[in-house]
Amino acid sequence: MHDIKAIRENPEAFDAALARRGLPPLSPEILDIDAARRSKILAAETATAAQNAASKQVGAAKAAGNEAEFEQLRALVAEKKAEIATLNEEAAAEDARLRDLLVSIPNLPLAQAPEGRDEADNVEIRRWGTPRALDFKPLEHFQIPAALPGLDFATAAKLSGSRFVVLRGAMIRIHRALAQFMLDTHTEDHGLSEVWTPVLVKDEAMFGTGNLPKFAEDSYQTTNGWWLIPTSEVTLTNTVAGETLDEAQLPIRMTAHTQCFRSEAGSAGRDTSGMLRQHQFEKVEMVSITTPEASLAEHDRMTGCAEAILQKLNLPYRVVVLCTGDMGFGATKTHDLEVWLPGQDTYREISSVSVCGDFQARRMNARFKPAGGGKPEFVHTLNGSGLAVGRCLIAVLENGQQADGSIDLPAVLHPYLRGKTRVTAAGELV
């Protein structure tokens, strides 16, 4: 959510930032609504002062026996009371218009975010690892013989429809091992605190992270009003909603492994084969709550945390900074990690790490008290995948595939699989 005071003070800068996102100037409309709202408030205050003055004079006129003046003043009080009620209603209506407009506008990109229209304009900043040279045609994850017994799309379709999977045998063992490995790495090596959260949340939580009202169709809602979380960014970030923290409590660094649910609205026809794009999936999420001064450094640190998972798994990847036209609604700068998938002969997103500035904090009313004193300030929030578990499974399967249809597994997972190191072409974990 945007600061109306900042827009008043520098509307040109606000519109220039929106232009970098490909949006038209909005400050004239915003300021017109704001001026109307403030005008109604001022008129109501003026009418209230007149009502108060007349109210004081009513008693004096009554005491003096001046019936004509008494009636005149009493009528004025009633008139002002009705006028104030009308003006307050009109001011509230303008305030609602202003709020509805402000909450629909995406976050403003930082200067470090490259300008562009779509993913073709994203900028690669580094690569790690070299894709393995294969002397056979690599298969996609859902074609590899070793994976076939454990990826049951037919049963999932019978149960739930398309874009679901039932995992069995070796596949669910590896999937579970990946999640545990990620959590252990983040808590023991990276200093994140593990949190277990609900996957059902109220409107306020979805609003706080920017999922509502604009993106309601992207999520699922129960008949009694709860929302199924698209990621635990929603729950972890909202743990500080409505709070005023001490600066000494910051940064707060959290991680959670949860089920996630997305309707995938607008993605019809994309990635329909396999488990790359699902309605239900698991993710290990990272969220940080920081001071404004520390948020950019925290963004780099969180990106490094996600990279460390891929490096330990020996999965080649690249890091790109998203252009202004490809960034998410609440982000002001985003790094995407794209893992190499030999079956697709390309890099695909496996993590997105974003700094949101005070955009979410304003929606949640989350502040901190500076250590040196002064007025409370809005915290800065950051979130990132550390990693998407299902996509990580895909990467492990495709990068570990062998010519005979078996799969060699990353050494870091062996302890989580009780010493087992590979999946045979028949789907057995050995």
Active-site residues, by number, are 262, 277, 349, 352, 391
Return the closest-CA partner of residue 148 out of 330, 406, 384.
406
The CA-based angle 237-17-299, given to 5 degrees, is 35
Cβ atoms of residues 34 and 98 within 8 Å: yes
Whole-angstrom distance, CA of residue 357 vs CA of residue 209: 12
CA gap 159, 166 in Å, rounded: 9
Residue 57 corresponds to which amino acid? Answer: Q
Task: Give Cα separations from 174 to 148, 167, 185, 328 (angstroms).
Answer: 14, 10, 16, 30
Which neighbouring-strand residues pair with 338? Answer: 318, 349
Chain centroid to CA 157: 29
